[in-house]
Amino acid sequence: MADGSDLLLEVNDLKMHFPIQKGVLRRTTGYVKAVDGVSLSIKKGETLGLVGESGCGKTTTGRCIVRVYQPTAGEIIYHDEGESVHIDRLDRQELKVFRRNMQMIFQDPFSSLNPRMTVLELVGEPLLAHGIARGQELEDRVAEMVAAVGLRVEHLPRYPHSFSGGQRQRIGIARALVQGPRLVVCDEPVSALDVSVQSQVVNLLQDLQKDLDLTYLFVAHDMSVVRQISNRIAVMYVGKLVEVAESEELLRNPKHPYSETLLSAVPRPNPHHAMQRLNLEGEPADPANAPSGCVFHPRCRYMEDVCTTDVPELTELRPGHHVACHFADQLELQGIAYVESGQS
Amino acid sequence: MTRETMSGDQILAAGETRPAMTEEALLEINNLKTHFHLQEGIVRAVDGVTFSVRRGRTLGIIGESGCGKSVTAHSILRLVPSPPGNIVDGEILLHRRDGEQSGSRLEEHTDLAGLDARGAEIRAIRGGEISMVFQEPMTSFGPMHTIGNQIMESILLHQADVERAEARELAIENLRRVGIPRPAQIVDAYPHQLSGGMRQRAMIAMALSCSPRLLIADEPTTALDVTIQAQILELMTALQEEFGMAIIFITHNLGVIAEVADEVAVMYLGRIVEQADVIELFDNAQHPYTQGLLNSIPHIDDDKLHRLRAIEGVVPDPYQIPSGCAFSDRCPSFMPGTCDRAMPGLAETARGHLVRCFLFSDAEES
Ligand SMILES: Nc1ncnc2c1ncn2[C@@H]1O[C@H](COP(=O)(O)OP(=O)(O)OP(=O)(O)O)[C@@H](O)[C@H]1O
Ligand SMILES: Nc1ncnc2c1ncn2[C@@H]1O[C@H](COP(=O)(O)OP(=O)(O)OP(=O)(O)O)[C@@H](O)[C@H]1O
Ligand code: SF4
Ligand SMILES: [Mg+2]
Ligand SMILES: [Mg+2]
């Protein structure tokens, strides 16, 4: 999709199909095509936002990239210092060494932390496991990281259960960033946080990105947060990307009907705001039995016959603006209307 | 919820009151204190909270991570782990009308704070009259059973006249209502096979399966995209209008609060610091903490993108709460000699608008 040497990550035609098993014999009766042909690229130091319907495959995409899952098909290529590593082909031993370069911050701060480890152990473990630091140096680095995410040194001996949701999410962020990764898959890293801490964490992620030259894949549902942090935004629907563009372009001039629907439902922190929400009619699509043609056609307001039979490819409509819709160049879609900022 | 009910209200002639259905308190919490007794000291997670929730209405609760929102919610259902947690003071009154008793005793209201946390009475109320959508998905769903079995169990426990086969149909129907694709199959899935948002919706399906009179929703939509979130909020509104269900809606998403809440309580360090009607709260936030929160929100329709603002500092260590106003060490309007001397009391600054701050009232906490 993009050219040249400034790419950090390149994903080509990624697929992750989970078998559906039935009966006592666990016979495979079909597949949940959670990710079904995703191609994307992320530049060094860039943030790519990934948004889309719940269950459309965002987390699965992230998990394939950091190889929590072995993808069913496709390539995941990591470029650094003139070398290219095929992440999808690393064996267990190679992966263990390579993991340092890429980390994931999880959606669920409750189940992702081992309840029997203290904060010091949780944040220190990756350093120990990779032989990066130990003893006093380890404690110092952990203390520094913990302070950077807004926790206190007094918290170090405590266990996760005694922290609130937001505090636990900060522990997760500290744990992911402590070993200095280059690529971080952030899976809804701020959705458990109050708006003030959310601001602090977003600012922190942006500062760390600059200081440490980090590259983010940022999955979130809050479109204003995604806009804040992302250079580009990718919109996903049932296992496929339907639109990719620069953030402001995507918000103002969405070209895919699903993006339009999504943007129409963004809630505003203003009780006087009158929503003009476009409803999504019909059943949510099922990744085990995806619709023919365009995956969005059963729910699309602009559907024509061709949509039921032909799969629209993700194509570049304008420089940098990729859309998968047969009518992308004809539709007049509604985006976010900007208002002059009232404050500062 | 707000908009619909408000326009309904306008039909009433001047001087006429709202229908009793919406005015009547369903749950009344008075001076609730829930503390955790830990080795390091006492965490006063909830420290004197008073509010009531009316039938058919939605009370939104917002506030910094760790301020005690979930502990308040867990206290109502008596789910605070003990030890180390205890309700040390206050009452939680669940009001009933004639014929609404689920237990054997026939009083008009039950003080949930006085019940045995493991007793039959609170177990009958949990998931029946009052149900909860938990912030931690795994609190609702054990990993070993299919979500269908878990929803069915809840239905069978609270609805004596329902047969097993019927319960399964009800479970599937409830999953469909919250927008789960192929519910007849997903009903047999294990929690780990669902995406975060699907798990959250399954939890909402379970919570709504017994038509509760009070729904406590603790961050129920964090894992949902905005379209499905909107559909869930609409579903809740519909149930509210149909059955007069009351809702306590805890969330960090102020966009959602603006949309669903009739009234909003803002908590800081275990206490309510401001409470008002939703429109009043957004238009005329008074407490410096509330203002700080509102200023921290990123706005998607701002033409310019600027670095996000945040409230200075961090929430104090629960063992070292500042003397005087709990917000005083972070407050931009801090008045030396006043704010650090005593704890401000919750005072009414306009009708129905309560604020705990010396900028607005001299009232001190007794
Ligand atoms: N381990 C698994 N086994 C079977 N199916 C799975 C598994 N993990 C995910 N799925 C299915 O894959 C699809 C995509 O799930 P995924 O978690 O990637 O969605 P998501 O986009 O992250 O959603 P959300 O926004 O709700 O977190 C869903 O239909 C889910 O049920
Ligand atoms: N089991 C426990 N043991 C000890 N302390 C606890 C326990 N549960 C909660 N706390 C403490 O009680 C306080 C309030 O926690 P609570 O979970 O109610 O916060 P919250 O307002 O729901 O925050 P969030 O928005 O992050 O979910 C926190 O300081 C927390 O550390
Ligand atoms: S009482 Fe004082 S310190 Fe507390 S919020 Fe009001 S002005 Fe700020
Ligand atoms: Mg996910
Ligand atoms: Mg909570």
Of A196, A336, A344, which is closest to B306 when you measure between CB atoms? A344
pLDDT of residue A93: 92
Most confident of A69-73, A272-276, B141-145, B321-325: A69-73
**Across the strands, what pairs with A322?**
A244, A316
Read off the pLDDT band of A1 (50, 70, 90). very low
The answer, for B258 touching chain A at a CB cutoff of 8 Å, is yes
Read off the pLDDT band of A278 (50, 70, 90). confident
Q: Are B65 and A197 in contact (CB under 8 A)?
A: yes
**Across the strands, what pairs with A343?**
none
d(CA A189, CA A191) in angstroms, rounded, equals: 6
Out of A5-14, A140-149, B249-258, B353-362, least confident range = A140-149
Read off the pLDDT band of B2 (50, 70, 90). very low
Is B309 in Cβ contact with A269 (below 8 Å)? no
Q: B229-281: per-residue pLDDT in tens?
A: 988 898 888 889 888 999 999 999 999 999 999 999 999 999 999 999 999 99
pLDDT of residue B136: 75
d(CA A140, CA B300) in angstroms, rounded, equals: 39
The answer, for B194 touching chain A at a CB cutoff of 8 Å, is yes
- Tell me the ipTM for this assembly: 0.84
CB of B273 sitting under 6 A from ligand 3: no
Nearest residue CA, atom 4 of ligand 2? A162
pLDDT of residue B259: 93
d(CA A9, CA A217) in angstroms, rounded, equals: 10
Of B226, B252, B283, which is closest to A194 when you measure between CB atoms? B252
d(CA B359, CA B334) in angstroms, rounded, equals: 9
* Ligand 1 nearest-atom number relative to CA B225: 25
Q: A94-105: per-residue pLDDT in tens?
A: 998 898 899 998
Q: B147-203: per-residue pLDDT in tens?
A: 999 999 989 988 888 999 999 999 999 999 888 888 999 999 998 888 878 888 899
* Ligand 3 nearest-atom number relative to CA B344: 1
Alpha helices by DSSP H, listed for chain A, are 58-65, 92-98, 119-129, 135-148, 165-177, 195-212, 223-229, 247-252, 257-264, 305-309
Is A165 in Cβ contact with B227 (below 8 Å)? no
Read off the pLDDT band of B106 (50, 70, 90). very low
CB of B328 sitting under 6 A from ligand 3: yes
8-state DSSP, A281: -
DSSP string, B218-233: ESTTTTS-HHHHHHHH
Out of A44-48, B81-85, B139-143, least confident range = B139-143
Mean pLDDT of chain B: 87
Q: B188-207: per-residue pLDDT in tens?
A: 999 888 887 888 889 999 99
Q: How many residues does chain B have?
A: 366
- At residue B210, does pLDDT exceed 80? yes
Distance from the alpha carbon of residue A320 to the mean position of ligand 2, in angstroms:
45
Average pLDDT of the residues in B83-99: 89
d(CA B175, CA B196) in angstroms, rounded, equals: 15
CA of B222 vs chain A CAs: smallest distance (Å): 6
Output b/e per residue, A88-117; b: 16+ Cβ within 10 A: bebeeeeeeeebebbbbbbbbbbebbeeee
d(CA A79, CA A200) in angstroms, rounded, equals: 30
Cβ-based neighbour number of residue B336 at 10 Å: 8
8-state DSSP, B364: B
Q: Please enumerate in sequence order all residues whose Cβ is within 8 A of that of A250, keeping only pairs 6 or more positions apart, or say none.
A: A232, A233, A235, A243, A244, A259, A321, A335
Chain B residues touching residue A107 (CB < 8 angstroms): 196, 223
d(CA B20, CA B103) in angstroms, rounded, equals: 25
- At residue A286, does pLDDT exceed 90? no
Read off the pLDDT band of B55 (50, 70, 90). very high
Q: A195-219: per-residue pLDDT in tens?
A: 988 898 899 889 889 988 899 999 9
In 3D space, the residue among A150, A148, A157, A163 whose CA is nearest the CA of residue A121 turns out to be: A157
- At residue B128, does pLDDT exceed 70? yes
Percent over 90 (pLDDT), chain B: 63
d(CA A165, CA A171) in angstroms, rounded, equals: 10
pLDDT of residue A273: 87
Is A224 in Cβ contact with B66 (below 8 Å)? no
Percent over 70 (pLDDT), chain B: 90
Percent over 90 (pLDDT), chain A: 63
Using the structure block, give the residue that is written with the tokens 């699509």: A285
Nearest residue CA, atom 6 of ligand 1? B193
Read off the pLDDT band of B8 (50, 70, 90). very low
The answer, for A22 touching chain B at a CB cutoff of 8 Å, is no
Read off the pLDDT band of A262 (50, 70, 90). very high
pTM over 0.80: yes
Determine the residue of chain A that is closest to B266 in CA distance: A194
Task: Output B19 or A159, whichever has higher pLDDT.
Answer: A159
d(CA A70, CA A87) in angstroms, rounded, equals: 10
d(CA B158, CA B359) in angstroms, rounded, equals: 49
Cis before B322? omega within 30? no
pLDDT of residue A3: 47
Out of A224-233, A259-268, A293-302, B317-326, least confident range = B317-326
Determine the residue of chain A that is closest to B180 in CA distance: A284
Cβ-based neighbour number of residue B235 at 10 Å: 17
Q: At what angle do helices B147-158 and B196-208 cross, to 10 degrees?
A: 10
Considering only residues 248 to 277 of chain A, which have any Cβ-Cβ distance to chain B shorter than 8 Å? 251, 261-262, 265-273, 275, 277
Average pLDDT of the residues in B309-320: 82
* Ligand 2 nearest-atom number relative to CA B270: 14
The answer, for B366 touching chain A at a CB cutoff of 8 Å, is no
pLDDT of residue A339: 86
Task: Output A79 or A107, whichever has higher pLDDT.
Answer: A79
Q: Are A56 and A30 in contact (CB under 8 A)?
A: no
Average pLDDT of the residues in B24-34: 95
**Dmax over Cα atoms in chain A, in whole Å?**
67
Q: A118-165: per-residue pLDDT in tens?
A: 999 999 998 998 888 889 999 999 999 998 787 888 889 998 887 876
d(CA B291, CA B296) in angstroms, rounded, equals: 9
Q: Are A167 and A201 in contact (CB under 8 A)?
A: no
Considering only residues 73 to 132 of chain B, which have any Cβ-Cβ distance to chain A shorter than 8 Å? none
Read off the pLDDT band of B98 (50, 70, 90). low
CA of A116 vs chain B CAs: smallest distance (Å): 17
DSSP string, B93-158: EEE--TT---SS---SEEEGGGS-TTSHHHHHHBTTTEEEE-SSHHHHS-TTS-HHHHHHHHHHHH
* Ligand 1 nearest-atom number relative to CA A287: 29
Read off the pLDDT band of B10 (50, 70, 90). very low
Distance from the alpha carbon of residue B329 to the mean position of ligand 3, in angstroms:
9
Read off the pLDDT band of A4 (50, 70, 90). low
* Long-range contact pairs involving A296-299 (C-beta distance under 8 Å, separation at least 24): A296/A237, A296/A238, A296/A242, A296/A256, A296/A257, A296/A258, A296/A325
- At residue B144, does pLDDT exceed 50? yes
DSSP string, A72-108: SEEEEEEEETTEEEEGGG--HHHHHHHGGGEEEE-S-
Using the structure block, give the residue that is written with the tokens 């919250």: B178
